[in-house]
Structure 1
Amino acid sequence: MGSDRAYERLTAIAVAALHEREPARLWPLLAGALADLCGGEAVILKLDDWSEREGTIGAAPDAAAVELERLGDADLALLRAGFPFARHYADSADREPVTAQRAAGRGWPDSPTARLLGEALDVDHVLGLPLPESTAPVTGCLVHRAGTDFTDDDLAMAQRAQPLLTAVERQRQLLEEWRRALGRDRAPDERAAQCALTSRETTVLLLLADALTADAIGRRLGISVRTAHKHVENIYRKLGTRDRLGTVLRAQRLGLVPPSAPPSPEAGPA
């Protein structure tokens, strides 16, 4: 029952996150609920292209983030190397959650990474939770805890959470693309707010401008076609339009989407 409540909490937070306009806030909103769901104490986020020399490291709760900020370059490089998950996931297409203990076996407790995590975060065990569609580098979350290793039930709950995490990550990527395309100086968030568009509707509008159908939008965002159609209808109503072409043209005039968008092979009626 406790796991079900934790999953309901994660689901509610994920839905709320999809309405957040600031993409950098999406994952921090989820981190605490994700740790509770998987029986963890802290979460490290691995969302961009990591190497041993560069890549953003995000962490929650705040105390964990503060501890990571105190690490030197050599220690950060060790964390970015992602032992043992980088090797584990690189060797196959399997993206099921796994613990460091199971992936590395007896070599985990005495590894430099385990010692570093024990000193920095006072944790012994790590659960790798990759995004199912990530390739190379593999992206996702690392859930940490002290004491005993994560259980089979913890792994099952982590796997159950993967679709929610994928949806949030797709939303984050689209919002980042949208901001880069328009530029912050054009105040895209303010323009969307003036039209009463939610963050989710904004990303759907961006995909409409990319000539994707409602079916394709649903696949891209991991939502049902019915939900995609509902978002499209709301956009039409709020912009006072009747079809995709008119909607995209009006959105371009309002500065909500780039002046021109590349054609898509999935183009068709919305």
Structure 2
Amino acid sequence: MLTLSVRALEQDGSVSPWPTLTGTLRRHLGVEAVTLTEISRQRSCPLAWAAGGIGDGRVRELSRQSMRCGNPLIGHYRQARDPAPRTAEELTGSAAWRNSAARSVAREHFGAEHVLGVPCTLPAGRSDLLRGCVVYSRKRFSPAQRAFLCRAQPILAAVDAHERVLSRALKRAGQDASNRAREYGLTSRELTVLILLGEALPAKAIAARLGISVRTVQKHIENLYRKLDTKDRMETALLAQSLGLLPPRSPFIGSRPEVPRDS
């Protein structure tokens, strides 16, 4: 999982890593299905899934029905802002889950009796966006499966944050931005950090946005300076805009350089 996630963070952003990641989770856990689902107040949308050959339409219908019947995972993660993986059963109690419409939906579409949520993006501020992996299993989740998902959850959240930043920026700057990034030897991760530099975020805020350490951010910034032959944030942002790596109206960075530190 770690190897796949690192590889995903280094790709150019033209292909989503999630089909591969959900497939890896499904195979490793030995479960019926794993989906990556995005939920807002109005709708529920599966973004990627591994479901043993079950068709796209059926996966989307399950997502819609889960939203309509009030799947307990949706309400819990939207209201509690809880980052930990949870089963629907532990949120409602065994009897309530056994008799719930949400369990009937999971059993009808995936043959699953048990459902577990692994949040990647929790609602924050004015945003009501909720995104996470949902794992469907015929059997109760074992302690080993739960432990694995707890270890994997920070990695999945980091991949999700990276992909959302990169996807949003490529829509603004155009897909050619990733091609230009490759011409200058920039990895996908370095391009993501560059994009957030262009939004005038300090290293600490970039680290929080991407779920990585400040030291790692500073290392990426140092690599950007070296590869683009620049000396500070302002010069880097201006050059990146002129090269088409950033949208032309990105906020300019303050004129004081931020030199990467070792601590």
TM-score bracket for the superposition, by shorter chain length:
0.7 to 0.9
Q: Return the offset for 1:155.
A: 2.5
CA gap of 1:164–1:24, structure 2 versus 1, over 3 A, is same
Query: Where does residue 65 of structure 2 map in the other structure?
Result: 78
Kindly indicate whether residue 180 of structure 2 is the aligned counterpart of residue 191 of structure 1.
yes
Encode CA deviations 1:16-36: one digit per residue, 9 max, x unaligned.
111122365122221123335
Q: Quick one: distance in 1 between partners of 2:59 and 2:8?
A: 29
Identity %: 36
After TM superposition, the score normalised by the length of structure 1 is 0.81
CA gap of 1:48–1:253, structure 2 versus 1, over 3 A, is farther
Q: Quick one: distance in 1 between partners of 2:121 and 2:171?
A: 26
C-alpha contact (below 8 Å) 2:234/2:252 kept by paired residues: no
Q: Return the offset for 1:178.
A: 0.8
Q: Return the offset for 1:247.
A: 1.2
Kindly indicate whether residue 189 of structure 2 is the aligned counterpart of residue 200 of structure 1.
yes
Q: Return the offset for 1:196.
A: 1.5
C-alpha contact (below 8 Å) 2:35/2:46 kept by paired residues: no
Given the alignment, which residue of 77, 91, 98 partners 1:103? Answer: 91
Q: Quick one: distance in 2 between partners of 1:236 and 1:55?
A: 39
Given the alignment, which residue of 5, 18, 24 partners 1:33? Answer: 24
Q: Which runs of 5+ in 2 are unaligned?
A: none
Q: Return the offset for 1:180.
A: 1.9
CA gap of 1:59–1:167, structure 2 versus 1, over 3 A, is same
Query: Where does residue 142 of structure 1 map in the other structure?
Result: 134
Given the alignment, which residue of 220, 224, 227 partners 1:238? Answer: 227
Query: Where does residue 4 of structure 1 map in the other structure?
Result: none
Secondary structure at the residue paired with 1:262?
coil
Q: Which moved more, 1:252-261 or 1:175-184?
A: 175-184
Kindly indicate whether residue 37 of structure 2 is the aligned counterpart of residue 46 of structure 1.
yes
Kindly indicate whether residue 148 of structure 2 is the aligned counterpart of residue 157 of structure 1.
yes
Q: Quick one: distance in 2 between partners of 1:175 and 1:90?
A: 24
Q: Return the offset for 1:91.
A: 4.3
Q: Quick one: distance in 1 between partners of 2:157 and 2:60?
A: 31
Q: Return the offset for 1:58.
A: 2.8
Kindly indicate whether residue 247 of structure 2 is the aligned counterpart of residue 258 of structure 1.
yes
Taking only aligned residues, the RMSD between alpha carbons, in angstroms, comes to: 2.7
Secondary structure at the residue paired with 1:242?
coil
More strand by share: 2
Given the alignment, which residue of 92, 112, 124 partners 2:80? Answer: 92
Q: Which runs of 5+ in 1 are unaligned?
A: 1-9
Q: Return the offset for 1:212.
A: 2.3
